[in-house]
Structure formats: structure tokens, C-alpha cells
Amino acid sequence: MVANSVSPAHLTATGVARAGGTGTMGSHTVSRIGYGAMQLERLHADRDTALALLRHLVELGVDHVDTAQFYGNGFVNELLQDALRPEDGVVVVSKVGADPNPGGPIPLRPAQRPEQLRASVEDNLTSLGLDQIPVVNLRRLDTGPGLRAEGDQVVDLDDQLAAMTALREEGKIGAIGLSSVTLEVLRRALPAGIICVQNSYSLVSRDDEEMLRFCVGEQIAWMPFFPLGGAFPTMPKVADEPAVTAAARSLGCTPAQVGLAWLLQHAPNVLLIPGTASADHLDANVAAGTVTLDEATVAALDAVRSHSGDVRLGEDSVDPA
């Protein structure tokens, strides 16, 4: 389809057709295929490549990016500040609930207390170079994989939401999302105005199906992390499933693209944030938006066993947030 036959709602601020079509995140109209920036930590020694990748995603019609202060202790946020311009119209989604822990056994530590959430928002504003972060996920520690809260890091949800809504009233954040939560916590949080949920979810990890359906009903965006099964070698990978590789062979695409296409077709409120440090994989992930799965293929993929219970990050791995 040529650009001038696409309705404006399907174009990014820079006039490119939105990757994967058009989706909704609260009051934001965005591409259904976004980008998870965590993998950019790996490009610490190659800043120019990281910046080029971020410019490329704008050219590809991707207009939402997931980040955190603790991705490379501000490194990834600073890349976003340098690479993205206001006129690109990219919605930046960050998260609070953990702080960088440089030099520690793992590079982040829980920071769940209300004053820590506020301080983390301030850190994000500085490293992103923004006056307001469009969306901030409260990254709880209710569900895995990853860290669990202990001691004074076990904080009541209402106290956290009071801090988040105050930050929204002050204009420091535009909207509130949740991450790593249970359905019960999501239900309790609804009055605060939750626009998105970010839990671990993919074709091979589908424990949260009921929560996903609840989000469809509430018009809350479902933005799964680890959509491909993550980068940790010990975690089950979408691309390793025989039904996925068979579908890829018959469709002439890659297994990763099948996994992303399945997510897009699975529910209308899905917005993707696959992570990559490779421009070729970024191209492939955006092209997954053009892959259509027929009914028989969807049925074969739906029958894949969910491995959520097997998820293990590995002894030498870090928290996935």
C-alpha cells in the first residue's frame, strides 16, 4: 500500500505507515509493533550502532519504545534522549520499582517504596531529557520471573498508587501502567486509571491468559515482555517449538516472525515490544506485522504447550526487568 492511500490514523508523526498497524495505549494511538530497548545495554561499547538502530525504528514506523533507568544504569535512556526528537512522536514507556545497582551481583535492586518510585521518575526524567514521561509502569514484584520483594520492599499497592497518581497530577508522568502483577492486583488498581499491563507472556508462556482477556474488556493494552521467550539461554524459546518452525517453513518467514504474528492475531489489545540489538532482527520483527496466520496454523500454534512453569533464568542470570 502506498503511503498516501493510508488514512492519517495509520501514519506515525513522521508520515510512515505504523508498524503492524494501529493500536491504542490509553490516549495514545501507536504502532502495534513497538520496540523493547533493554537489549541495547549490550551495545555499551558501540554507541553509534545503538543510535542508528533507534533512528531506524522511526523510519520503520515504530512509535513506542519500552525502557528503564536500570537498563545500563541510564545508558539506554540517554541513547533515547540523543536519538529521538519530539517530532518523531515516539511514545516512551518507562518503569519504576527497581533502581540500578552497578557493581552489584545483579545490575538492579528493588525500589518499591513510594519515595523510591518518585526518585526513580526524577532519574528517568533527567536521563530521558523529558519534562514528562508519557507512560510509566509500576513494576511490582508479584509474579515472576525475577526478583521478589522482601522486608521493607514489600509495599502496599495503595501506597504505591498514591505516589503514582500524585506524579501524574504533577504532570511528571502522563499515564500509569503495571508490570509483573497478578489479576487481583490489576483489579484493585483499576480506579487509578491503568492504561497498559506488561507481564511475561508469549506463545510458550501463557499463564496470564485470563488477565489478557480481562484487559481486552477494560481496553487496557497488553504489552508482553519476553514475547520471543527472552534472551536468557535457560528460558523456553518460541522459535524452538516444532509447530512454530513448521509454520515458518510453510509461510516462508522466520520462527520469530511466527511468534510475533501469533501474538498480534491473538488479541486486539496486544502491543509488541520485542527486544533486539540487531538492525536485521528489527527489520524482521517489523515485517512480522505483514505475516497472516490462517485458521489451521493458529489452531496448531494455540495447541503448543505453555512452559511457564519451567521458566528458570539460570544461576548466573540477572533479573529480567
Ligand X SMILES: NC(=O)c1ccc[n+]([C@@H]2O[C@H](COP(=O)([O-])OP(=O)(O)OC[C@H]3O[C@@H](n4cnc5c(N)ncnc54)[C@H](OP(=O)(O)O)[C@@H]3O)[C@@H](O)[C@H]2O)c1
Q: Which of the residues are catalytic?
A: 71
Applying CB under 6 A, does 273 fall inside the site for ligand X?
Answer: yes
Name the phi and psi angles at 296, rounded to 5: -65, -40
Closest distance of CB 184 from ligand X, Å:
18
Report the residue closest to ligand X, judged by CB. Answer: 275
* Residue numbers 140-199 binding ligand X by CB under 6 A: 179-180, 198
Q: Which one of the spans 52-60, 110-118, 157-165, 224-232 is the region binding ligand X (CB under 6 A)?
A: 224-232
Distances (CA, A) of 309 to 9, 39, 141, 146, 312: 40, 24, 17, 13, 9
Residues in the chain: 321
Applying CB under 6 A, does 62 fall inside the site for ligand X?
Answer: no
Nine-digit cell at 119? 526518585
Nine-digit cell at 235? 528460558
Nine-digit cell at 220? 487496557
Contact with ligand X (CB under 6 A): which of 284, 298, 300, 313?
Answer: 284
Contact with ligand X (CB under 6 A): which of 51, 231, 251, 279?
Answer: 231
**CB closer to ligand X out of 38 and 111:** 38
State which amino acid sits at residue 263. L
| Closest to 106 (Cα-Cα) out of 315, 321, 317 | 317
Applying CB under 6 A, does 94 fall inside the site for ligand X?
Answer: no
The helix (H) or strand (E) run that includes residue 76 is: helix 75-83
Q: Which one of the spans 51-59, 165-173, 240-248, 267-275 is the region binding ligand X (CB under 6 A)?
A: 267-275
Q: Which one of the spans 116-124, 165-173, 183-191, 229-237 is the region binding ligand X (CB under 6 A)?
A: 229-237
Give the separation between CA 197 and CA 306, rounded to whole angstroms.
20
Contact with ligand X (CB under 6 A): which of 278, 279, 300, 313?
Answer: 278
Give the separation between CA 310 and CA 314, rounded to whole angstroms.
11
**CB closer to ligand X out of 31 and 39:** 39
Cβ-proximal residues to 110 (8 Å cutoff; 6+ apart), any chain: 97, 98, 141, 147, 149, 150, 153
Nine-digit cell at 249? 517453513
The helix (H) or strand (E) run that includes residue 176 is: strand 176-179
Applying CB under 6 A, does 262 fall inside the site for ligand X?
Answer: no
Contact with ligand X (CB under 6 A): which of 274, 301, 308, 311?
Answer: 274
Quick note: the x/- pattern for ligand X over 106-145, rule CB under 6 A, is ---------------------------------x------
Q: Which one of the spans 83-91, 149-157, 187-195, 276-284 is the region binding ligand X (CB under 6 A)?
A: 276-284
Name the phi and psi angles at 306, rounded to 5: -80, 130
Contact with ligand X (CB under 6 A): which of 23, 74, 177, 227?
Answer: 227
Give SS3 for 219: coil
Applying CB under 6 A, does 53 fall inside the site for ligand X?
Answer: no
**Where on the chain is the footprint of ligand X (CB under 6 A)?**
36-39, 66, 95, 139, 179-180, 198, 225-231, 254, 256, 273-278, 281, 284-285, 320-321
